[in-house]
Structure 1
Amino acid sequence: MIGKAWYPIFLREMLLFRRQLLRISYLFSAMLIPIIYLLTFGLGLGRMVQIKGTDYLNYLIPGLVSLTSMMNSYTWVANALNLNRLYFKNFQVFIQAPIQPSAIMIGEVLAGMVKGLFASGLILIVGFITTRNLSITPLFVPILLLNCFLFSSLGVITGMITKSHEDTATYNNFFILPMAFFSGTFFPVERIPQPFQAVVWAFPLTHANILIRENSIDLYGLLSLVVLLLYAIVFFIIGSRLIRDYSE
């Protein structure tokens, strides 16, 4: 039984996270890239461009929240696991402890979700300050939670399979960075040239960006929700198995 076996893993990460919060550099690092995007695209074009019946800034901010949740949930888990495995060697303590692999997975994923939600909350606060018309849809919070869960699980996979700390940057450049720019964060996917749309529709962030802006789920929204749930389940299972089979 998993029970509360995941809690010590989660608590450890939260205690480390609390120490990070005391450093101003962490807050800046969590917000820097999204704020740059907001200033460059949102405030620069926000009141001159209309997308889907609203000004560009109102379209952009939900996408930036989704993007921030992806980057922080994924990056912090992937980097932490990689460092704990290869350099600090304290991940081996988790494996030797009488804890099920799924409990370790749950603790790491929940910690990644908290970090992703925290960074997303900061961007959302900035969004409410910069625009008066920003609204939160009924799907906003559940999709944000699902997005954090999904990419935290992916972060576990990356953290478990990388052979060096530099490898995490390679995975980031090939998978996370393309999703950041081409998954509907800054402009609708329909504006991407047709030959590339098939690849973009396979990105989980594309479906998160669609749903986080919707007021209700229609047929296409239901399809996006199914895609996100499948990604989340598959990533969680793969991550749990990688932890179970860990033998370094």
Structure 2
Amino acid sequence: MIPINPRGTWTLFLREIRRFLKVKMQTIITPALTAILYLMIFRYAMGERQVPGLEIDYFTFLVPGLAMMAMMQNAFANTSSSMIMGKVMGMHIYLLMAPLSAIEVVFAFLAAAVVRAVVVATVFLTVLIPFVDLSLLHPGVILLYGISGSIIMGGLGLISGMWAKDFDNVAMITNFVIMPLTFLSGVFYSVKQLPEIWQQVNTFNPFFYLTDGFRFGFLGLGDTDPFASISIVLGSVIITILACWSLWYNGWRMKE
């Protein structure tokens, strides 16, 4: 698992960065327009309504969660789209033949996914920060949960791309797994607003801890103790990386 070809890893990383930067409409323009739409809909439609039990206006509560959701979805999209495009075009075989170890390939893909997620979140927050009262109360927590969430979602995207045979397979995972879990992760509501049974159900959603911890870094409040959830998040990161490494090392569904 020790990298032996840092130049090759760096080259693959740059390829992935340049690939998503070529579609600036998706990675830069779209997040900015989405932020403006959220501003128009939630800020001016909800007014100064506060989140029950948290004593904070709804839009300020919403923004960090929306940024985290955008990071997770874009990290997933970056690796899954790269993998499925390579498979559909028959180019993935060259990546398998490249003098790169499994951990080097995984590292390059996940690092690029993190970069895309950070770019999207930066654009998103830059547009909205003038309209909300956000502070970097715990920058270390923001980085930890933001990067961890991007790695986890990038890893899931890599695994999904390896599993999928065409774009429909990836779309199925995106629409029926990733989207529901991210939308139900507490982005649009405080879990405390839910009935007791649904609060318990929500604790089994791993994305909930990522969203709640990321929000805590900005607002200093949330539905859980983010410091107690760190072990869950870091454990998920390690499991994701090991799963990606193992599957790539064995060429899972890549040689069919």
Q: Deviation string for 1:206-229 (max 9, x for gaps)?
A: 101221232579983233212211
Aligned counterparts of 1:189 and 1:45: Cα–Cα separation in 2? 19
- Report which stretch shifted further, 196-205 or 169-178: 196-205
Q: Tell me if structure 1 keeps the 8 A contact 2:70–2:117.
A: yes
Aligned counterparts of 1:170 and 1:193: Cα–Cα separation in 2? 30
Q: Deviation string for 1:79-116 (max 9, x for gaps)?
A: 1111112x122221111112111110010001111111
Q: Tell me if structure 1 keeps the 8 A contact 2:20–2:27.
A: no
Partner of 1:45: 46
Which of 13, 17, 34 is the matching residue for 1:14? 17
CA gap 1:157/1:186 in 2 versus in 1, 3 angstroms: same
Q: Tell me if structure 2 keeps the 8 A contact 1:183–1:206.
A: yes
Q: Which amino acid aligns with 1:88?
A: M
Q: Tell me if structure 2 keeps the 8 A contact 1:137–1:213.
A: no
Partner of 2:151: 149
Aligned counterparts of 2:134 and 2:221: Cα–Cα separation in 1? 20
Aligned counterparts of 2:205 and 2:32: Cα–Cα separation in 1? 23
Partner of 2:207: 205
Matched, 1:28 2:66: no
Q: Deviation string for 1:101-136 (max 9, x for gaps)?
A: 1110010001111111111111111221222x2112
CA gap 1:235/1:32 in 2 versus in 1, 3 angstroms: farther
Q: Quote how far apart the aligned CAs of 1:25 are.
A: 5.5
Q: Tell me if structure 2 keeps the 8 A contact 1:42–1:60.
A: no
What residue ranges of structure 1 are gaps of 5+ in the alignment? Answer: none
Partner of 1:134: 134
Q: Quote how far apart the aligned CAs of 1:43 are.
A: 3.5
Identity %: 22
CA gap 1:194/1:169 in 2 versus in 1, 3 angstroms: farther
Aligned counterparts of 1:153 and 1:198: Cα–Cα separation in 2? 26
Tell me the TM-score normalised to structure 2 length: 0.86
Aligned counterparts of 1:234 and 1:25: Cα–Cα separation in 2? 29
CA gap 1:80/1:46 in 2 versus in 1, 3 angstroms: farther
Aligned counterparts of 1:224 and 1:159: Cα–Cα separation in 2? 29
Q: Tell me if structure 1 keeps the 8 A contact 2:51–2:190.
A: no
Aligned counterparts of 1:40 and 1:64: Cα–Cα separation in 2? 13
Q: Quote how far apart the aligned CAs of 1:167 are.
A: 0.9
Q: Tell me if structure 2 keeps the 8 A contact 1:182–1:189.
A: no
CA gap 1:46/1:159 in 2 versus in 1, 3 angstroms: farther
Q: Tell me if structure 1 keeps the 8 A contact 2:10–2:108.
A: yes
SS in 2 for 1:222: coil
CA RMSD in angstroms comes to 2.3
Q: Quote how far apart the aligned CAs of 1:34 are.
A: 5.2
Q: Quote how far apart the aligned CAs of 1:26 are.
A: 4.6
Aligned counterparts of 1:168 and 1:31: Cα–Cα separation in 2? 25
Q: Which amino acid aligns with 1:10?
A: F
SS in 2 for 1:223: coil
Aligned counterparts of 2:121 and 2:28: Cα–Cα separation in 1? 12
The number of aligned residues is: 244
